[in-house]
Amino acid sequence: MCAKRIDPSSIDIDHLRQEFEKFRAGLGDAADKLGDNAHTALDQITEYLNGGSLSSRVASLEEELEILGARLKGSSKDAVAKLETEASARPLAAMALAFGAGLLAASLLRRG
70/62 Cα distance (integer angstroms) = 12
Q: Could you tell me the CA-to-CA distances from 64 to 29, 61, 76, 84 in Å, in that order?
A: 47, 5, 18, 30
The per-residue pLDDT for range 12-60, each reduced to its tens digit, is: 777 777 877 887 777 777 777 777 788 888 887 777 777 666 677 778 8
- Reduced to 3 DSSP states, what percent helix, strand and coil does the chain have, rounded to the nearest 5? 90, 0, 10
Whether the pLDDT of residue 65 is over 80: the answer is yes
Structural contact between residues 71 and 64, judged by C-beta atoms closer than 8 angstroms: no
Q: What is the mean pLDDT of residues 64-89?
A: 88
